[in-house]
Amino acid sequence: MRRRRLLLLFGGATVTWPLAASLATIARAQKRSRISILHSGFPNRTPIHLLLGALGALGYEDGSTATIELLGGEGNADRLNALVAHLAAERPDVIIAITSPAVLGLKQAALPTPVVFLFLSEPVGLGIVESAAHPGGNFTGITYSEASLGGKRRELLVDALPGTKRIGVLWSPHPEAVVFLENVRRSGLERGIEIFSRELRDLEDLPAAFGDARRGGAQGVIFMGSNLTFGYRKEIAELEIANHLPSIHSFAVEVADGSLMSYGPDMAESYRRAAALADCILKGARPADLPIEDPIRFTLAVNMNTAKALGITLPQVILARADEVIE
């Protein structure tokens, strides 16, 4: 009798184990992934819907299959630090960090949470990862160096404005500012272009900066991307037209909001690739094993309405090269 009971118990156990494993699998599938998006500036002034759409296409819908938290530092260091402390306490499954200050804040806080970064230059030089091929920690992501594009923007602006001899460069304090300016100056020397440089301090400083560039003899302006210039792109476009100073920027959305030109990485592509890295992590991959990726697609955008308002006829060579022409 005792032997029979043991067999029954053993038989019951062999039936229960697969059932328990199945239940555990179902529980994991039904668990909502917790995704936090940290931007050092104003995420709702950016095309953040592209990132949310990319996550949705991979099955991460806020409120149903995932809990997605959107956090913005609004250009305030104290607020950004508070948000980093919040993330340290909440411990989401993955953090998508947008811009250098957000990434550096997370690194300094030594959070163990996996991080996918966007629009970060020199992740190795900044000490975020050990190498591009083997990050070696809890950070991976998509790079973007604004500094290397200064000369290219200078070239495109001069091609759009034949006869230009002097260009203004408006920039905000940023680790890449010195290299960006040197890149513009060096490329300008090749075509005999003089450079007028002016730092941007805050929103209230924008009108004065345009006035200084105009008085300094600038015939066009190159903007170095920052939270300030991106967050107030409509105001900048209005000042561009009012001061009759054509400008070139980093992203097509700045052209859609009224500036003349932009040249930079395709934001939709960068967001899709960041979402794909987050998906890999949520499915069990380690950031340490996911190589850092560089932008592949760069786009030139022009706004024909702004060109008309500025009294400019864009050369055919620019229109032929443009990936996006806003009528």
Determine contact, residues 306/240, Cβ cutoff 8 Å: yes
How much is the pTM?
Answer: 0.81
Closest CA to 261 of 306, 308, 217, 309: 306
| 28-145+267-297 classified as CATH 3.30.413.10 | no
Half-sphere exposure of 16 (CA within 13 A, CB side): 6
Within this chain, domains 28-145+267-297 and 147-265+299-326 share the same CATH topology? yes
Q: Per-domain residue ranges for the chain? A: 28-145+267-297, 147-265+299-326
Structural tokens at position 32? 């909502």
- Answer for the pair 196, 217: CB distance below 8 angstroms, yes or no: yes
Cα–Cα dist 227/76, whole Å: 10
**30 confidence band (pLDDT: 50, 70, 90):** low
pLDDT of residue 148: 79
Question: Does 42 have pLDDT greater than 60?
Answer: yes
Would you place residue 317 in the very low, low, confident or very high pLDDT band (cuts 50, 70, 90)?
A: very high
Amino acid 117 reads: F
pLDDT-based confidence at 182, cuts 50/70/90? confident
Separation between Cα atoms, residue 156 and residue 257, nearest integer Å = 19
What is the per-residue pLDDT across 189-203, written as a single tens digit (0 to 9) for each?
888 899 999 999 888
**Could you give phi then psi for residue 72, rounded to 5 degrees?**
-125, 130
pLDDT at 4 over 80: no
Whether the pLDDT of residue 72 is over 60: the answer is: yes
Q: Is 307 helix (H, G, I), strand (E, B) or coil?
A: helix
Mean pLDDT for 272-289 is: 97
Distance separating alpha carbons of residues 154 and 214, to the nearest angstrom: 17
CATH 2.170.150.20, applies to 147-265+299-326: no
Strands 194-199 and 221-223: unpaired
Residue 241 has pLDDT above 50, yes or no: yes
Distance separating alpha carbons of residues 176 and 120, to the nearest angstrom? 10
- 40: confidence class by pLDDT, cuts 50, 70, 90: very high
Q: Give the pLDDT score at 85.
A: 97
Residue-averaged pLDDT of the chain: 89
Secondary structure E strands in the chain:
33-39, 66-72, 94-98, 115-120, 139-143, 166-171, 194-199, 221-223, 247-249, 261-265, 298-303, 324-326
pLDDT tens track for 216-234: 999 999 998 888 888 899 9
